[in-house]
Structure 1
Amino acid sequence: MSQRVAGSSVAGGERVGQKSKENFVRAQLVFPDGTSRITIERDPIPLYIERGAGSYLIDVDGRRYLDLNCNFTTLIHGHAFAPVVEALTHQLQRGSCFANPTESEIELAELLCGRIPQVERVRFVNTGTEAVLFAIKAARAFTGRSQIAKFEGAYHGAYDWGEVSLAATPDNWGDHTAPRSTAFYRGTPASVLDEVVVLRFNDVEGVRRLLSLHAHKLAAVVLDPMASRAGLIPPTPEFIAAVQETSRKNGVLVIADEVLNLRQSFVGASARYGLAPDLLAMGKIIGGGLPIGAIGGRGDVMKVFDASAGRPLLPQGGTFSANPLSMTAGLAAMRRLDHAAFEYLDMLGNIVRDGIGRAISNRGAPLCVAGATSLFRIHPMVKIPNDYREAHPAPAGVNVMRQLTRFFAENGIILPHGAVASLSTPMVRADAEFIVDVFAGFLDSNQDILDALEVRT
C-alpha cells in the first residue's frame, strides 16, 4: 500500500471521533433514530461534517476524507466551489426568494434547453423526487392514462408509484418473466401496486411483451439509463431500442430519470445511450449544491403545464420552485461544466475503474466494477450483472461491501455503501490513484472475507 494511504489512516483505528459520538447522542433526543434521513450512513454512528473544501470533507473531529459521495453525486464541482460561492453571496445580498420570477430562472432554463436534446420547455421544482413526480403526472395528463411502467430496483424518489419494487427481494419479486409489484413501505395502497407494471432492466423480450400487453392503460415508462441503486448497470443498445420502439408504437411516453445521470456527459445520459425521451427529469448537478429539480421535454407534452388560458391540465406550483438561490448556483455550476470538464472527469473515472479492475484481476478476487464517466460501483461478484436481480448480493456479499466501506473510511475516503461512488472536478490524478491504492490494500488484507463469497458468474 502506498505511503499516502498509510498517512491517511484514521488515528487509533477509530472510525468515528469523539465529537461525532457526542453529536449523535444529542441527535437521538430529537430525531426518531438519531438521523434526519434514511440515507445517512452510520456504522453504527454517522460522521458529522464541519466543512468541505474541493474534493475533501473535514469532520467535527478534524479528520480529512476524500469524498466519493458528493452528497449523492450532486457536487460535481466538489465543496465550496468558488464561482457558486461568489454567485450566491451576490444573490443573498439582493434577496433569497420572491413570489415573482427572476431573470436567473430564464437563463438556467435557456442553458438546459440549449444543451439537452429533447428538452424544448422546462419547469423547475425543488427536488429530484418532485421532478419525477410531475413528469409522471404530465404523462398522465397528456395521455389520459393512469398507469406507469418502471424497472425493478430503480430509485425514482419518494413518490408512491416510483417506489414500487425499489427494494424487491428474492422472497417477493416473483417470476422472472412477470415481476411482481412490491411495496416499499408498510401501508402502501394496493391500488398503487396495481397501477405499476414492473419490468426487468436489459430484458428485451420482456420489455416488448409487457409494454405491449399493458399499453392501453400505460401513460409512461420511467427509465433511468443507468440506475444507481439497481447496480449502475450499462444498458444494451437492444434494450434501449426495445423501450423506445415499443413505447412509440403504443403511444406510451418515455420518461428518462436523469436526476443523477445527467452528469454522464455534456448532453446527459439519454443521448449517450441513444434514448430520445418525451420527458426528462433533472436535478442534483443543475442546482450547484442547492435544492432543485426540473422537468423538461417535448413542447406539446410540456403544454400540460400551460396556464395562459386558464387552469392547465396539470397545475404545478411550489413556494420555492425556481428560487433565485438555486437558479443562481445552478447557473454558475452548469456554465463551468463544459466539454473539457466532462473529458477530465471521464479521464479520472477511467483511471479509477481500470485500476480497480487490474487489482481485482491480479489477485483473482471475486469482485467487479461497473460504471461510466465519473461514476463507479463495486459489486461482490466476478461479472458485471445484467439487471437488478443479478446484482442483488447474498449476505456474504453485503458483508464484503460493508467491510470495504469501513476500510475506505479508516484510510481517509468516504465510499458510499451499496450505492454509486462519484468523482468531482477538483480531484486530481493522485486522488484517483489513491482510490485504487486503498482498494488494493483492502484486497490484500481481507482475503478471509473474500473467500467467504459465493462465486457468482
Structure 2
Amino acid sequence: MKIGREEFSDLDTAGAARVGLGSKSRFRRAKLVFPDGTSRVTVERDSVPLYIERGVGSYVFDVDGRRFLDLNGNFTTLIHGHGFAPVVEALTRQLQRGSCFANPTESEIELAELLCERIPHVDRVRFVNTGTEAMLFAIKAARAFTGRSKIAKLEGAYHGAYDWAEVSLAARPENWGDAAAPTSTALYRGMPASVLDEVIVLPFNEVECVRRLLSLHAQQLAAVVLDPMPSRGGLITPKPEFIAAVQDTARKYGILVIADEVLNLRQSFRGASHRYGLVPDLVTMGKIIGGGLPIGAIGGRKDVMKVFDASAGLPSLPQGGTFSANPLSMTAGVAAMRHLDHAAFVYLEELGNLVRNGISRAILNRGVSLCVTGAASLFRIHPMAQVPNNFRDAYPRSAGAIVMKELSRFFGDNGIILPHGSAASISTAMSHTDAEFIVDVFARFLDSHKDMLGAIDTTR
C-alpha cells in the first residue's frame, strides 16, 4: 500500500510533527491492522509512535535514520544495551542447533543454576515466558501452598496482566478512597467484583497501616506481593521499617511474601530484595535474565516451590507452556547474566549516581519544583518539589502532568528517549559522556521552560 504525504492530515498534530515521514507511514499501515495502531498499550506515542529500525549499544535509530540515546531499553530489559555481542554470538550458535524443543536442554539448567547461586532465597526455579506469567504462577503457588485465596498488594504497583495483580494499578483521586485503607479499584470495565474482594490494597511506606491491614485479613491472605521499589508507583525508596513491618507481620500469620523483581532485579548483583533487606518466600524475575528475549521465572523456597513437583503425578499446581524454557531465551539469558558481574553493577551504580546527582543539582541551582527518585541504574523525574513517599504523593496533578509530557518531548527533540511516567534505565553500554548528555539536556529543559515550571502546584 502506497502512502503519500497528503494522507497524513489527521496525524499532523504537534506530536506527529516530531516524528519523521517513515514513522507516520508505518503508523498509517498499523492503524489498519491494530485496534489503535499499536500492538501493546505500553507503546508511547505523541499522536504517532516512533518506529525503530535498529539498535546499537546505548542508541537506537528510527526508520528515518535519526539516532536516540535509549533510556527505555524495552522497559528496562536491555541492561547491556542493543546488539550485545556475547548474546548475539550465543544466539547465532543456538539457532543453528534449533529454536525450541518439547524436551529440556542443558541451557535451562545453566540459567537456573546461575539464578539459584546468585539470588538469595531462591532454592528452585520454574521458567515461563513473561513477567506476567511469573507473577500469575507465583500467586497461584502461594494459594496452593497456604490453601488461602486472597492476596495483598501495593497501591499503584504494576505486577503484570493478571486480574488480581491489576487491582488498584490505575487508582485515581476520585476512586482510591481512604489513605489508611485504600479502596480496591478495577483496572478495566467488567473486572469481576469477586476479584476486587480478594485483593487487599496496601499504602506504600505506611508502616502502621500495613501492619493493621495485614493483621485484619491474615486468615484469608495467601501472600503479600511486594515490589521493593515500584516503578509505576513512583520509583520511591522503601523505608527500612516498612520492609520490616511487611516481613514481620507476614511471618507472624503464615502469609507468604512474593518479591516482584521482574524489573528491579537489576538493582544489584543479588537483586533488590537483598539491597533492601527483604527475605521473600517467592521471587518473580524477568526482563534482564532473558538477555533481550521473552522470559519470566518463579523462584523461591524449596518447600514452597514443591507445589510444582509432578514427579509423583499431578502436582498441586500444574504449570506448562509451549515456549517456557525455550533454548533461545535460556541461552541469551546465560550470556547476559554471566556478563552482569560485580564490576558491571558497580559501573551501573556509578552512572546512575552521576545522572541522579546531576539532575538534582540542576533542580537545586534553578529552584524549580521538580525532584528525582530511583537507585542503581534507574531514575524517575517528578513534577513536585518534595520527594514523594508513596503512590498518592507521586500522582501528578494537571500542571505537573503537562510538564512531564513536555519533558519527554524535549528529550526526544534533543536525541534522547525518556520514558513518560515510568522508570528510565541506564545500560552497561552507556558512557560517562552519555550520562553528562542526559544531565545537560535536562538543564536546558529547565532553562527553556521557566514559565511552565513555575505553574507546578507544589501542594500534595
Q: Same fold (TM over 0.5)?
A: yes
- Aligned residue number for residue 6 of structure 1: none
Q: 2:67 aligns with which of 60, 64, 67?
A: 64
Native 8 Å contact 1:383 1:456 kept in 2: no
Distance 2:304 2:387 in 1: 37
Distance 1:104 1:250 in 2: 39
Native 8 Å contact 1:14 1:410 kept in 2: no
After alignment, is 339-348 or 444-453 more displaced?
444-453
The residue matched to 1:107 in structure 2 has which SS? Answer: helix
- Aligned residue number for residue 19 of structure 2: 16
Distance 1:456 1:25 in 2: 42
Higher RCO (Cα < 8 Å, 6 or more apart): 1
Amino acid across the alignment from 1:180 = T
The residue matched to 1:93 in structure 2 has which SS? Answer: helix
Q: 1:304 aligns with which of 281, 304, 307?
A: 307
Distance 1:102 1:384 in 2: 47
1:239 aligns with 2:239: no
Distance 1:455 1:149 in 2: 31
Distance 1:128 1:436 in 2: 31
Amino acid across the alignment from 1:149 = A
Structure 2 residues without counterparts, runs of 5 or longer: 1-15
- Aligned residue number for residue 182 of structure 1: 185
Q: 2:135 aligns with which of 129, 132, 140?
A: 132
Aligned residue runs from structure 1 range 56-455, under 5 A: 56-455=59-458
The residue matched to 1:439 in structure 2 has which SS? Answer: helix
Amino acid across the alignment from 1:286 = I
Distance 2:387 2:220 in 1: 34
Deviations 1:129-167 (A, max 9, x none): 000000000000000000000000000000000000000
Distance 1:447 1:350 in 2: 26
Q: Could you tell me how far 1:72 is from its partner in structure 2?
A: 0.1
Amino acid across the alignment from 1:243 = V
Amino acid across the alignment from 2:415 = G
Distance 2:357 2:380 in 1: 12
The residue matched to 1:123 in structure 2 has which SS? Answer: strand
Distance 1:423 1:370 in 2: 14
Amino acid across the alignment from 1:254 = V
Native 8 Å contact 1:65 1:414 kept in 2: yes
Amino acid across the alignment from 1:432 = A
Q: Could you tell me how far 1:15 is from its partner in structure 2?
A: 1.6
Q: Could you tell me how far 1:14 is from its partner in structure 2?
A: 4.6
Amino acid across the alignment from 1:93 = Q
Q: 2:35 aligns with which of 14, 32, 37?
A: 32
Name the Cα RMSD after superposition: 0.7
Deviations 1:331-389 (A, max 9, x none): 00000000000000000000000000000000001000000000000000011100000
Q: Could you tell me how far 1:439 is from its partner in structure 2?
A: 0.1
TM-score by length of 2: 0.96
Q: Could you tell me how far 1:258 is from its partner in structure 2?
A: 0.2
Distance 1:417 1:248 in 2: 37
Distance 2:338 2:180 in 1: 45
The residue matched to 1:141 in structure 2 has which SS? Answer: helix
Deviations 1:265-319 (A, max 9, x none): 0000001000000000000000000000000000000000000000000000000
The residue matched to 1:366 in structure 2 has which SS? Answer: coil
The residue matched to 1:33 in structure 2 has which SS? Answer: coil
Q: Could you tell me how far 1:456 is from its partner in structure 2?
A: 3.0
Q: Could you tell me how far 1:445 is from its partner in structure 2?
A: 0.2
Alignment size in residue pairs:
445
Deviations 1:184-235 (A, max 9, x none): 0010000000000000000100110000000000000000000000000000
Distance 2:421 2:109 in 1: 38
- Aligned residue number for residue 9 of structure 2: none
- Aligned residue number for residue 5 of structure 1: none
Distance 2:135 2:458 in 1: 37
Distance 2:17 2:199 in 1: 45
Q: Percent identity?
A: 77
Amino acid across the alignment from 2:280 = P
The residue matched to 2:329 in structure 1 has which SS? Answer: helix
After alignment, is 330-339 or 445-454 more displaced?
445-454
Q: Could you tell me how far 1:451 is from its partner in structure 2?
A: 1.2
Q: Could you tell me how far 1:177 is from its partner in structure 2?
A: 1.3
Q: Could you tell me how far 1:41 is from its partner in structure 2?
A: 0.6
Structure 1 residues without counterparts, runs of 5 or longer: 1-12
Which portions of structure 1, spanning 4 or more consecutive aligned residues, are displaced by more than 6 angstroms? none
The residue matched to 2:230 in structure 1 has which SS? Answer: coil
